[in-house]
A and B are shown apart, each in its own frame.
Chain A
Amino acid sequence: MTRVRSIKRSRLLSGTGRYALLVFFGLIFFVPVYYLLVGSLRPGDKVLGGLSALVPSDLSLDNYAGVFNRFSNDTTGYVWQFAGVSLAVTAMVVLGGLLVNSLAGYALARMKWRGRNIVLLLVTIMTIIPFEAVALPLYYMLSGQRNTLYVQALPFLANAFSIFLFYTYFLSIPVEVEEAATIDGAGPVRTLFQVVAPMSLPAYATVAILTFLGQWGQYLWPVLMITDTKLRPLPLELSVFQNAQPPEWGPVLAFGVLFVLPVLVVFLIFQRSFVASVASSGVKG
């Protein structure tokens, strides 16, 4: 398809005007990010200095050293330990989520069974329930499982919205492909993972990235469930510097950068495929 030509036609602005707008919005979006980055490299009392806070002077890695020194033994925990917990929990949620949610999405999109319509309706309704609304009853239910790694991940494995995304994507795939597999004697699970999943990489990528972004900053649940230093994820430690008297803005921002850095790196590497995947996944309507 002559995509480039069609796109040229579809846009309202061209040339300079478009660049001007891009630069304008780009700056608006980038300034807070830049502010975080520069602030993390400057002394804490220079963070709040109006526009001069954006000038990259007095740069040093002191704030980062401060963060790592602050967490430097078993009593305080270690930065890499918090990051490791966050990574492990996020990985469990992402991988487990891809598995169970795609299975459910496939069963809803392609298989006929009693109660399917009701389940579909219930799943849709469940996309609306915010986790915070059920956190307290859940805390009572799971209080025996406190201070474990898996309890941080379990409630987030199944996700109604992910099921829903898979469901819509699978609907858009031509059935013939699967019918061929069925004739070869493959069961639905094998058909899903050997035939449908490879064709649905955009959907899997979208769900993976959304889950990762949502899980990485998870705060309320670990507050309720985790007291053991060894099992605490990153977000719980952000407040350590912020609640200091006076707030240690330098280390706060340095910790913030360390907090988003892994996500940002992953994101920049996969940016192209991310855009392609979200853009082409089922949600395009």
Chain B
Amino acid sequence: MTLLIRSQAERTAPPARRRRRLSSHSLMGPVMAAPALILLAVFLAIPFLGAIAMSFYRLQLNSTRAPRFIGLEQYSRLFADPDISAAFLHSLGNNFTFAAVVVPVQTALALGLALLVNGKLRGMAVFRTMFFMPLVFPLALVAVVWRLIFARDDHGLLNSAISLFTGGSVGPHDWLGSSATAMGAIIVMSIWQSVSFQMIILLGGLQAVPHDLYEAASLDRAGRWSQFLHVTVPGIRNTLIFVALLTTVFSFRLFDQVYLLGQSGSVDIESTQTMMYQVITTGYDQNNIGQGAAMAVVFLVIVTIVAVIQRRLVRQEGSIR
């Protein structure tokens, strides 16, 4: 991400200027960065090192027993113990499924919406407001509202609506409780809540596409679709990539919706549990801190790998243009 954005931003500046930084205060750089860096170190990096340390121990919350050093046992269980590894790998799979669906769908939908709300049209402010509203919903509330919408009997809003539109020929479905649709339901509520943020970013990208490119395209008698493909998409390419990267990272963090629904309703845990879900339920609900810490470490390694691979791919493509 960094490289992508930096290369783009620097590209816009003349080459000579790029190297001229305000470098006369060489000590001030670290000093200015220090408050944030120290806070990040204390509240993120060091606890994470703590998690790594904990993962080598048998450690229970609310236990009087001394933590016992057990080496890599927590890790070997994650991959070798049939029960634990099955649940863990299943969660990993669910994370990838979620990301594989959400990243393209949410990015595409965000682009579609951005195109829709781009420009002046009577009543546009109202529509934009409608799209933005979900963004202010905390996830705890998202879970409450959508749990009611997905309710499995004909009292559920969705089932009731489907029954109305199909004239009652389609019976009520257990959206959250059935393994076939539970993940889909979570995906829908996640996209509902956050797509407008991506939409705004893309809107910015759209408005920055130089308008003479469109003029040139229309002189070439390019149709609307052709303009979209050959002017709009290349023009917002970097924004699109940024949005996709952002969505990927956040989709791997999926946790709140699944956890909150699991606590209060009948969501199908098997097909919706994620790695963060495993970390939290193992560490907090079953008090098994050591195992939870090991899961967190493996999780972070995997997400870092995904992010690095993504960045590699993007950088290579970027150099072709």
Residues on A close to B: CB < 8 A? 1-13, 18-19, 21-22, 25-33, 35-36, 39, 47-54, 99-101, 103-104, 106-108, 110-116, 119-138, 140-141, 154-158, 160, 163-164, 167-168, 171-172, 174-175, 178-179, 182, 187-189, 191-192, 213, 216-217, 219-220, 235, 238, 242-243, 247, 249, 252-253, 256, 259-260, 263-264, 267-268, 271, 274-275, 278-285
Contacts and interface: CB of A to CB of B under 8 A. Distances in A.
Contact of B40 (A50, A112, A126): A126
A235 B134 contact: no
B108 interface: no
The secondary structure that dominates the A interface is helix
Contact of B144 (A9, A13, A124, A256): A256
B21 A111 contact: yes
Interface in B77-106: none
A175 B23 CA distance: 12
A39 B225 CA distance: 43
Given A3-B211, A33-B137, A133-B300, 15 more contacts: A9-B227, A11-B119, A31-B157, A100-B39, A113-B27, A113-B30, A119-B33, A124-B2, A126-B45, A133-B296, A168-B9, A179-B20, A253-B144, A267-B135, A279-B204
A179 B22 contact: yes
Given A25-B113, A213-B136, A30 B130 contact: yes
A48 B43 CA distance: 43
Interface string B120-135: 1100011111111111
B155 A48 contact: yes
9 contacts: A3-B207, A10-B118, A10-B228, A35-B149, A48-B148, A104-B37, A113-B27, A213-B135, A260-B138
Give 10 closest A-B pairs by Cβ, nearest first: A217-B138, A6-B211, A50-B160, A279-B204, A137-B50, A285-B238, A113-B29, A158-B39, A111-B29, A104-B36
Interface of B: 1-2, 4-6, 8-10, 12-13, 17, 20-33, 35-40, 43-48, 50-51, 54, 61, 113, 115-121, 125-141, 144-146, 148-149, 151, 154-157, 159-161, 163-164, 192, 196-197, 200-201, 203-211, 214-215, 217-218, 224-225, 227-228, 231-232, 236-239, 241-242, 249, 252-253, 255-256, 264, 276, 279-280, 283-284, 289, 292-293, 296, 299-300, 303-304, 307
* Chain B CB within 10 Å, residue with most, of A18, A19, A29, A107: A29
